[in-house]
Structures are given as C-alpha cells and as structure tokens.
A and B are shown apart, each in its own frame.
Chain A
Amino acid sequence: MEQRDKEQKRPDVPSGHRWAEAQAVNGTSADLRRGAADLRDKAAKQTRLFRDAAASDREKK
C-alpha cells in the first residue's frame, strides 16, 4: 500500500486541541494534485478492466 506521509504534525498546531491532529494532516496544492492524479489513474485502470470484461462477455454471446 502506498505510504503517504500524512501523520506528521506541524509544529505550529497546539497539541491537546480537539482538531490538532486533523489540522496537522498534509495537503498542500501539490499533494492534492498528486492525490487527484492518483485517483484518476486508479479509476482509469479499473474502467479499462470493466470495459474489457464487458467486451469479452459480448464476444462470448
């Protein structure tokens, strides 16, 4: 599984605060772009898989 550097805490977030961990999660513009591109790639691969399977089913019929 892809190791994502998410659990690092930023030094400026006060600890003990209810949402301190949440606010420490990484997610800059570059991170988001990478994440979105990763999702698109995964979805494209899966889409091909489903379409190939559907085409194969049609050929069998």
Chain B
Amino acid sequence: MKLPKGGDSWPDRAFRWLIAQSDNPWVRYLVAPGVLAAPPWIVNQLLDSSPVSKWLRSEFPDLAGLLQRYDVLFYLAAGAYSALLIAFAKAIAKRVESRSLDLAGVLTLEAAIDNVVGCKLERFEKHANGGAKITRDNVFATITQPSLQIAEITRGVAEYFNACRPAKKRQHLIRVLLAEIQNGKISEFVVSFPKDEPVRLTRAELNRSNSAIMTAVRSRRIVVIDSIEKELRKGRNACYVPGGNTDDATGSIICYPVMGAARLPVFVISIHCEEDRYFSRSKADLYAHVLSRFALRLNLEYNLLQLKERLHGTA
C-alpha cells in the first residue's frame, strides 16, 4: 500500500530527502562516517605534533590556541558531537516516520476493511447455500443491504481509530458519527458509535455554517481540529459548535467529506477524541488517506442504496 509522505513544508521535504540519501551506499559508507569522524580528527590533529597539526596551527592560530587552552573540553565536545548527530538523525527519521502508518497500522486498516467485507460475505454465503428463497426478480433486493453495510463501514472506522490508539490512552472511546448530506446540509445522522453514547448535538446545531462538519462540506476537504478548546477561543471564527456538555468543548476532531457523484459530499465522517491534540493537523494527509479507503466503500454502498430505492422503492 502506498502511503502519503506527510506534510509539504520545507523542513519535511528536507528531512525526507536526507532520509532518502541514507539508502545511498556512498553516503552510508563514506560521507556519513566522514562527517562523524571529521571533528574528532580535527581536534586530535590540532593537539598533536604531526605535519597536519603544524599546518592547521599556522592557518588557524586562534582556534589552535583555544584548543590547547581547553583541550579536555574540546575532546569531550568532539565525542559528544557524534552522539548528538546520531540523535538528530534518529529524530529526523522519527518525524518523517510518524507522519505515515507503520506496518502494524497498515495491517490494522486491512483487518478493519476485511471485517466489513466479511459481513457481506456471510450474507452472500447464507443465500448461496439456500438459506432464503431466491428468484431472478428478488436476488438483487435480497442479497444487497447497503444501509446495513454503510453502518458496518462506519463501525469499521470506529474500530480502526480505537485500535490505533495507544493503550495507556484508551480510557474513553473515540466516537464516530456518519452524517448524510443533502443539498449541502445534514439531512440525517445515519449512525454513530458507540451506540450507548448518543450524538450530543442536534442536526440544527451541526447544520450551523461554522460547525466542523459544515466546514468540511463547504471546503470539500478534510478538517482537522487539533484542540477544540483552542479553536473555541477564536470566537466567531471558530469552526466548531460546542454542545451543552462540557466534554464537547475539549478534545480533537476530524471531519472527512465523502464525495459522491458530481463531486458533491454525500456523507461526512466525524471522528471525535476527548484527548486534546490527539489528532494533529500536520497528519491530515494521513487521516485522509486512511479515510479514503472507507469512503470509497461508503460511496459504493450509497450508489447501491440509490439504485435499490429506484428499483424497489425502499432500501
């Protein structure tokens, strides 16, 4: 699976370039050891009596004098330099890696999607093995259950995001809401998870133009609010509508529009975590990539639902 490469700021691009260079054998076996060894070697040369030392002393007399005066400190600094450089390289690698899914993340996503397909397979198998009376006329209406499948996909989103959350932070579940969009407004709350924690805001409240869902509908792009508390401090410019419950005024949220035909949003997936800054705007590309896997399937089922409604009246 191809993963997004994270942010596009110049440090990110520079770090990715540096990481890519580390795969080059010339850089790995020649340039990197040279960069690591150069300062200790220079310090050593300046302090002994070799010809190189004499040349360095004549070319850089001030530096040589300083080195002789604080020789122990410079030896220590030369040693620490290597350790600091390696730590810096590791930090760069971590920064670049943290913007993409690791192997476990990709496999968790695969398992979540497999679960959704598994539900459909169970149903198909049941009918294929003669569990219900199937005729040429009713086969489509019988085996397809797009409304149910849309709920399963949304549950897949909820299970996936909760599965990816570090164990120590799993006190409260990440909540997921799927809202149906018609004519640029929320027409229905399709389903939300967990089911024992109902949506705290009304449709009318979430249909306000400054809600995160409506911002995603208008912009047709993913909206990530790192800190709801900080967002609300913006006052009128805040892209968030708080509910009466104080829990709604904290945490972080993602709103992802699912685009249908004519590039218009048909759903918005809203994902709320009660932990402040759990979601990060800098990882928006990654969230969008993960959610696009689910959105593709939601869109397919939505088309199936419309087809079924056209043919049979109800889904």
Contacts and interface: CB of A to CB of B under 8 A. Distances in A.
A6 interface: yes
B103 interface: yes
A28 B194 contact: yes
Interface in A16-42: 16, 18-29, 31-33, 35-40, 42
B108 A39 contact: yes
Contacts of A24: 148, 151
Contact of B195 (A4, A21, A28, A35): A28
A56 interface: no
A40 B163 contact: yes
Contacts of A36: 159-160, 162-163, 165
Contacts, number: 116
Contact of B191 (A16, A25, A29, A33): A25
A27 B107 contact: no
A7 interface: yes
Nearest to A2: B118
A30 to B, nearest CB: 8
B122 interface: yes
A18 B188 contact: yes
Interface residues of A, number: 35
B158 A16 contact: no
A19 B103 contact: no
Contact of A1 (B122, B152, B190): B122
A21 B163 contact: no
A20 B194 contact: no
B163 A39 contact: yes
A43 B194 contact: no
A46 B114 CA distance: 13
A35 B103 CA distance: 19
B173 A32 contact: yes
A21 B159 contact: no
A4 B194 CA distance: 16
Nearest to B172: A29
A39 B159 contact: yes
A35 B159 contact: yes
A10 to B, nearest CB: 9
Contact of B162 (A2, A33, A51): A33
A27 B175 CA distance: 11
B93 to A, nearest CB: 18
Contact of A27 (B121, B158, B180, B315): B158
Contact of B173 (A7, A20, A29, A50): A29
Contacts of B107: 42-43, 46-47, 50
Given A1-B118, A36-B162, A44-B104, A25 B155 contact: yes
B194 A27 contact: yes
A13 to B, nearest CB: 11
B118 A22 contact: no
Interface of A: 1-4, 6-7, 16, 18-29, 31-33, 35-40, 42-44, 46-47, 50-51
Given A23-B190, A26-B195, A35-B162, 4 more contacts: A18-B309, A24-B148, A24-B151, A33-B173
Give me the 4 closest cross-chain CB pairs, A-B, nearest first.
A22-B151, A36-B162, A35-B159, A39-B163
12 contacts: A4-B119, A21-B147, A22-B148, A24-B151, A27-B155, A28-B196, A29-B173, A31-B195, A32-B162, A32-B193, A42-B108, A43-B104
